[in-house]
């Protein structure tokens, strides 16, 4: 899956920690895709974060706000993007050293409209990355609303294509999205 999206032009690739052998996958992808940044996501605690860093993760995503995780990542100079939803959580994550803030689950609170509504001082200065409801069709609207990037998985990796191991089709989906977002 990672190789397919890299073939499609994506350069930041997250390996979710709940994947089988996530640490080994990160090491392998760092070797196979030296032109990409390989990170770890769905990290739930400091112990997982430490193993992810040791495996070579170049950035870290969490689904929640954990100040100990932010502190540990910043002490090791590894970008961390914690999950947050409310302005209070977003500001807290940022003030504690988060590199960006993952707005999750964004679709549950209005999607791109919510990101647009967060564009007020001081939140608008914080780089936001929406997840949880971003699709190939709506990704551009999040960037237009003020997000610095988007993260998506389910829509990029339809189960039928994954089951069939149709990596060229997934690469094409990634490439189409990249072209759309770069215009």
For residue 14, indicate whether it is catalytic: yes
Mean pLDDT along residues 34-46:
98
Going by pLDDT thresholds of 50, 70 and 90, the confidence category of residue 122 is confident
For residue 121, indicate whether it is catalytic: no
Task: Set out the domains of the chain in order of their start, with CATH numbers.
Answer: 2-182 (3.20.20.70)
> Is the pLDDT confidence value at 55 over 90?
yes
Q: What is the pLDDT of residue 183?
A: 73
Q: Which of 24, 27, 75, 102 is catalytic?
A: 102
SS (H, E, C) the chain: CHHHHHHCCCCEEEEECCCCCHHHHHHHHHHHCCCCEEEEECCCCHHHHHHHHHCCCCCEECCCCCHHHHHHHHHCCCCEECEECCHHHHHHHHHCCCCCEEECCHHHHCCHHHHHHCCCCCHHHCCEEECCCCCCCCHHHHHHCCCCCCCCCCCCCCHHHHHCCCHHHHHHHHHHHHHHHHC
């Amino acid at each position: 899956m990672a190789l397919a999206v890299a073939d499609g032009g994506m350069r930041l690739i997250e390996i979710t920690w709940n994947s089988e052998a996530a640490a080994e996958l990160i090491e392998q992808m760092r070797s196979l895709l030296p032109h990409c940044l390989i990170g770890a996501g769905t990290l739930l605690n400091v112990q997982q974060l430490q193993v992810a860093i040791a495996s070579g993760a170049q950035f870290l995503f969490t689904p929640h706000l954990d100040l100990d995780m932010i502190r540990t990542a910043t002490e090791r100079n590894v970008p961390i993007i914690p999950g947050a939803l409310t302005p209070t959580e977003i500001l807290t994550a940022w003030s504690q050293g988060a590199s960006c803030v993952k707005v999750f689950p964004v679709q549950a609170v209005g999607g791109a409209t919510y990101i647009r509504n967060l564009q007020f001082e001081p939140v608008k200065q914080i780089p936001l990355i929406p997840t949880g409801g971003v699709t190939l069709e709506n990704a551009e609207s999040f960037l237009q609303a003020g997000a610095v990037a988007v993260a998506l998985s389910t829509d990029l990796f339809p189960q039928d294509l994954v089951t069939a191991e149709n990596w060229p089709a997934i690469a094409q989906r990634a490439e189409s999205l990249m072209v759309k977002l770069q215009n």
